Structure 1
Amino acid sequence: MDTLLAEAAELLAATTNLNVTYTYDQEKNDRGTDGHLTITNGQQKYTWGVELKKRLLRQVLAKLTLVKTVLHDEKALIIAPYINEKLAELCREMQIDYLDLAGNAHLNNPPIYIDIRGRKPPPEHQIQLTRQLTGKAFQPKGMKLVMMLLLRPELVNQPMRVLADEAEIALGTVKQVLDDLKQLTFIIDRGKKGYAINEQDLLLTRWLDAYPHNMEAKLKQALYVAQDLTEIRNAPLEPYGALWGGEVAADAYTHYLKPKTYQIYADAEAHKTLLKKFRLRRLHANETDVTPIRIVEPPVAIEKIKGKLPGYATPLLVYAELLNSDDPRNLETAKRIYNDYLA
């Protein structure tokens, strides 16, 4: 982080042949900036207020302090070691300028316009990324235990057999995950007071980072079309052993989002019941003129992921689903869910 702004500025200058300078702020100020980057073009200077990120993630975008593109007459600029194309696209849609050390850049401060895409991350960043995602805690089975600890931090002091039952994983896996979390200092020993979850927000970030590949992608799911979408949308699902997730749950928790997609958590038995009760049929290939309903197998027993509202999944899963969406409108809703239920 100490050299991130300098490296990014020097790379931008070398790539564009522009006069690029930078300054570091001594400490975070009321604007929330870490420094400034300036491009001089003739007699004109164009300056961005910079926020540095060790790693830019969807959840970081949702919580950015620089949520506006202009701060005190300065454009906002995010700099990270690497920004993948999906996140870069979200930044562009949110009108947030960015730079990374791979050489990707988007700066729009007329008449300055720079748009460089498709650069791969530096090898050292790929090694760091791999290290961050290794270990049992953030692998598919470990993710279930971490989720339960995020939902119920008091479980950290329960016997391993209880944790195995709660996360529905093997006893040996529980020990490996706990050892991993202790090594990463996410679980600390307070002596007579027992164990405690440490840096819970950072633990949440790591879990969210692994969620798309190591949890969501591992869940059985299928797409259906309802004979009457309004009927199932207005029906309480809890009596059928199912829960709304995704945008429908997000709307219930925030009253801010008009759902465009529909997701339901249901185990095998509830799945069959829903198909029969609401006359759901499989979505056909290349069928685009309908609104599909995604039925997803819950990561653990359905009663363990019930949220604060009857019939809806826990805000933790809803938050993860919104961040895993490619729709920028979901990021603001995700931020509201974080502030209201997870912060």
Structure 2
Amino acid sequence: MYKIMDAAPGKRASREAKLLRTALEMFHHTTGLQMVIEAEEVTDNAGHRADALVHLETLGIDRRFVVRVKSQLNQATLGMTVHHLERFPQKGLIVTDYVNPKMAEQLRAMDMPLLDVAGNAYLNEPPVYVYIKGNNPIEKPHRKRPTRAFQPTGLKVLFALLSYPNLETLPYRDIAKAADVALGTVGWVITDLKELGYLVDMGKRGRRLINKEKLIERWVTTYPELLRPKLVLGRYKAVDSDW
């Protein structure tokens, strides 16, 4: 059983809903099959949340899929996304803007259904079998300049905020000390988080982080490329492998 949740506010929720609808329309256009959105943002009895619940009914089959919408899916987020969906009792479905042929093959090997807005898809629900790969994006995604919150020093602040509960409620000076960054860094990170829908400022009631799970996913995606290389002092090998 699933409980229907109110869609999360903010631009991020709107982008995910638009991406899902576009991918479903493209799936219908390329295959003639139609999936219908039954709910946006649902949670099961164990408290696991999904971005949507979709329904496919055709050729004698009647299936529902829990959906994870993941913009710009990559190797850093693929495993986490699959793991998230595997926690649900019903089959999962990954929806993204574009899946390259290599990743499409990985998902097929995992038997993980997928759709993207370019028309690539994988679905194995006998007697229905769909496997489309190699379609290029209609428009190549424009790589936006990362916000300052996801630059190296901003990632340090995010790590501190995610590691210490309620740190966001403290004065900027305390946050800067916990993250070991300059005081000025905290201000623009907080501003970016509010604009991106990860933090709400309730005035006298203080600040509160929201959408933490998705914020963690984004941090995990960005960390290996931008912050980790700056933290590595060197690589070493022990003479004795049992050392």
Give TM-score, length-normalised by structure 2.
0.67
Select the residue among 65, 71, 82 that pairs with 1:50.
65
Alignment equivalent of 1:60, drawn from 69, 81, 85: 81
Residue matched to 1:20: 33
Structure 1 residue 144 displacement after superposition: 0.6
Deviation of residue 20 (structure 1)? 1.4
Q: What aligned pairs does 1:151-300 form with structure 2 within 5 A after superposition?
A: 151-220=163-232, 222-231=234-243
Tell me, what secondary structure is at the counterpart of 2:111? coil
Kept after mapping to 2: 8 A contact 1:98/1:106 = yes
Residue 36 of structure 1 contacts residue 50 of structure 1 at CA under 8 Å; is this kept in 2? yes
CA contact (8 A) 2:85 2:92 kept: no
Structure 2 distance, partners of 1:5, 1:161, is 41
Q: Deviations over 1:135-175 (max 9, x none)?
A: 21111110011101111134334443443343233333222
Question: Alpha-carbon deviation of 1:211?
Answer: 2.3
Q: Is the 8 A contact 2:69 2:94 kept in 1?
A: no
Which stretch of the first structure deviates more once superposed, 150-159 or 4-13?
A: 4-13
1:91 equivalent in structure 2: 107
2:53 aligns with one of 16, 26, 34: 34
Q: Deviations over 1:7-27 (max 9, x none)?
A: 435433543xx4413333257
Aligned to 1:82: 98
- What letter is aligned with 1:34? L
Change (3 A) 1:29 1:46: farther
Aligned-partner Cα distance in 1 for 2:138–2:66 = 20
Aligned partners of 2:206, 2:43: CA distance in 1, in Å?
A: 38
Structure 2: unaligned runs, 5 residues or longer: 1-15
CA 1:223/1:37 → structure 2, altered by over 3 Å: closer, same or farther?
farther
Return the offset for 1:96.
0.9
**Residues 195-234 of structure 1: CA distance to partner in whole angstroms, max 9, x if unpaired?**
3333333332332232232223443265444333333xxx
Residues 76/198 of structure 1: CA separation in 2 closer, same or farther (3 Å cut): closer
Amino acid at match of 1:160: Y
Q: CA 1:215–1:62 in 2, change beyond 3 Å: closer, same or farther?
A: farther
Q: Distance in 1 between matches of 2:234 and 2:102?
A: 24
1:262: which partner in 2?
none
Task: Specify whether residues 186 and 23 from structure 1 end up closer, same or farther in structure 2 by C-alpha distance, changes over 3 A only.
Answer: closer
Unaligned runs of 5+ in 1: 232-343
* TM superposition shift of 1:50: 2.7
Contact 2:68 2:92 in 1 (8 A): no
Q: Is contact 1:143-1:207 (8 Å) kept?
A: yes
**Structure showing greater Rg:** 1
Instruction: Tell me if structure 2 keeps the 8 A contact 1:6–1:22.
Output: no
